[in-house]
Amino acid sequence: MPLPIEKARSSDRLMAVIVCATVLLVGTAVSLPVPMYAEYARVSGAGSKALGIAFACYAFGVLPSLLFLGGVSDRTGRRLPLVVALLSIAAITAMSVVPGLPALAVARIAQGLAAGLTGASATALLAESFSDALASERAAACVTSMLAVGYALGGLATGACLLTGPTLFPLSYPMTLIACGIVTVMLLKQPYLVQRRQTELLRLPYLPAGGGWICVVIGAAWSLVGMILSIVPYELSHLGHPGWSGLIAFLMPLAGLAAQPARKRLSPNAAVSLGLVLAPIGCLLLLVGVGQGRLEPILLGAAFSGAAAVGFSFYGGLALIAE
């Protein structure tokens, strides 16, 4: 028997909340170990180059899932990829049991897989839950915003744990795992909102004509974020400020979200161009701060870089793709 419309809408709202919580946790897990990078390098007896390689292992998880697994949620239903993404987050336990760069590399691959699976499945599920003329646009904005907030919270939580003293097992790790367990149970209790479809399991993403250069800009923007998050925490540790790494991971996505009112007043082309202008300024401030051992330019540079890469180039690029 079909549900009354009021209950159906209530169920959709609950599912939307659960999906948003899932996306938030995935984003949180990605930035959670950022303040620990220098400590993992020290335990492994490695330098910044090895740390950068371990950090880059994220690509081995996120690229295959984004480029080839777009049809998974159509074939299996939207829920299964989200559950797999939450289970992938459990890889952070590897960093607590065997701390070091090898465990970080494994965790980064799992986090990349989780982010890739979540992006497509959560956006599709939210669009079906909203079911209005702007459903797809609202769903994409919701997913990207939740990921950005998660990126901000993860690093901040671990950085706060390190302010009380060095540790290889910050309290933020078990708290995230507990939250993942709770959301996983809630997700498993929800019924499928869509039927499985007979579509291709492996398929390339759709790229509109003329969108290639936009994707290059977006890729460069996120590469800047990744470079800063892999290098600056290591440098801050050598400057005697390891706990401040979490604030760097917090400032970049937060500045990106804070830039949204200004970005919306600009045309998408102007927003992307402004991001390309602000990015070198942010990098220069970071170089000055690291070179002089001063926190103020480092924090300001992280904020500028986050606003440029996430706020203007990324969101502006998404608006151009939508057009």
Residues 25 and 147 in one domain: yes
Question: Which of 205, 231, 266 lies at the terminal end of a domain, its last residue?
Answer: 205
Q: Is 270 helix (H, G, I), strand (E, B) or coil?
A: helix
Residues 221 and 106 in one domain: no
**Strand ranges inside the chain, DSSP E:** none
Range of the domain at 164: 1-205
Q: Residue 9 — very low, low, confident or very high, per pLDDT cuts 50/70/90?
A: low
Q: Residue 3 — very low, low, confident or very high, per pLDDT cuts 50/70/90?
A: very low
Residues 228 and 95 in one domain: no
Residues 157 and 216 in one domain: no
SS (H, E, C) 190-232: CCCCCCCCCCCCCECCCCCCCCHHHHHHHHHHHHHHHHHHHHH
Q: How far apart are CA 9 and CA 319, in angstroms?
A: 29
* One-letter amino acid of 166: P
- The structure tokens 């604030």 sit at 247
Residues 215 and 173 in one domain: no
Of 194, 257, 197, 136, the residue nearest 15 (C-alpha): 194
Instruction: State residue 10's pLDDT score.
Output: 54
* pLDDT tens digit sequence for 259-313: 888 888 888 889 888 999 899 999 999 999 988 888 888 989 989 998 998 888 8
Q: Is 168 helix (H, G, I), strand (E, B) or coil?
A: coil
Instruction: Record the tokens describing residue 244, joined without a space.
Output: 């401040």
Contact predicate 81/120, CB 8 Å: yes
Instruction: Record the tokens describing residue 262, joined without a space.
Output: 């200004």
Q: Is 69 helix (H, G, I), strand (E, B) or coil?
A: strand
More confident residue, 70 or 157: 157
More confident residue, 220 or 14: 220
Sequence-separated (6 or more) residues with CB below 8 Å from residue 23 = 118, 122, 142, 143, 146, 147, 150
Q: Is 17 helix (H, G, I), strand (E, B) or coil?
A: helix
Count of structural domains within the chain = 2
Q: How far apart are CA 44 and CA 56, in angstroms?
A: 17
The segment with the largest mean pLDDT, out of 163-177, 184-198, 234-248, 294-308, is: 294-308
Q: How far apart are CA 306 and CA 84, in angstroms?
A: 29
> How high does pLDDT run on average in the chain?
80
Q: Residue 192 — very low, low, confident or very high, per pLDDT cuts 50/70/90?
A: low
Greatest alpha-carbon pair distance for the chain in Å reads: 69
**Mean pLDDT calculated for residue range 116-134:** 74
More confident residue, 56 or 243: 56
- The structure tokens 């926190």 sit at 295
**Mean pLDDT calculated for residue range 62-89:** 75
Residues 33 and 77 in one domain: yes
The CATH number given to whatever domain includes residue 37 is 1.20.1250.20
Instruction: State residue 24's pLDDT score.
Output: 92
* One-letter amino acid of 106: V
Of 232, 208, 244, 215, the residue nearest 282 (C-alpha): 232
Contact predicate 143/24, CB 8 Å: no
**Mean pLDDT calculated for residue range 167-178:** 87
Sign of CA dihedral 96, 98, 100, 104: negative
**Mean pLDDT calculated for residue range 1-12:** 46
**Mean pLDDT calculated for residue range 134-138:** 67
* pLDDT tens digit sequence for 204-229: 666 777 777 888 888 888 888 888 88
Instruction: State residue 4's pLDDT score.
Output: 38
- The structure tokens 């490695």 sit at 46
More confident residue, 314 or 51: 314
Question: Which of 205, 222, 246 lies at the terminal end of a domain, its last residue?
Answer: 205
Instruction: State residue 11's pLDDT score.
Output: 62
Residues 213 and 192 in one domain: no
Q: How far apart are CA 181 and CA 111, in angstroms?
A: 16
Instruction: State residue 285's pLDDT score.
Output: 92
Residues 2 and 136 in one domain: yes
Instruction: State residue 98's pLDDT score.
Output: 80
Residues 58 and 193 in one domain: yes
Question: Which of 151, 174, 205 lies at the terminal end of a domain, its last residue?
Answer: 205
* pLDDT tens digit sequence for 23-44: 999 888 888 888 887 778 888 7
Instruction: State residue 203's pLDDT score.
Output: 65
- The structure tokens 């939740």 sit at 146
Q: ∠ at Cα 246 (253, 275), nearest 5°?
A: 25
Residues 85 and 186 in one domain: yes
Instruction: Record the tokens describing residue 240, joined without a space.
Output: 């005697």
Contact predicate 98/145, CB 8 Å: no
* % of the chain residues with pLDDT over 90: 5
**Mean pLDDT calculated for residue range 159-183:** 85
In what helix (H) or strand (E) does residue 2 lie, and over which residues does it extend? none
The H-assigned helical ranges of the chain are: 5-31, 37-44, 48-56, 58-68, 72-76, 79-89, 92-97, 101-130, 135-162, 172-188, 212-238, 245-258, 260-264, 268-292, 295-306, 315-322
Residues 238 and 180 in one domain: no
Residues 173 and 221 in one domain: no
* % of the chain residues with pLDDT over 70: 84
Q: Residue 5 — very low, low, confident or very high, per pLDDT cuts 50/70/90?
A: very low
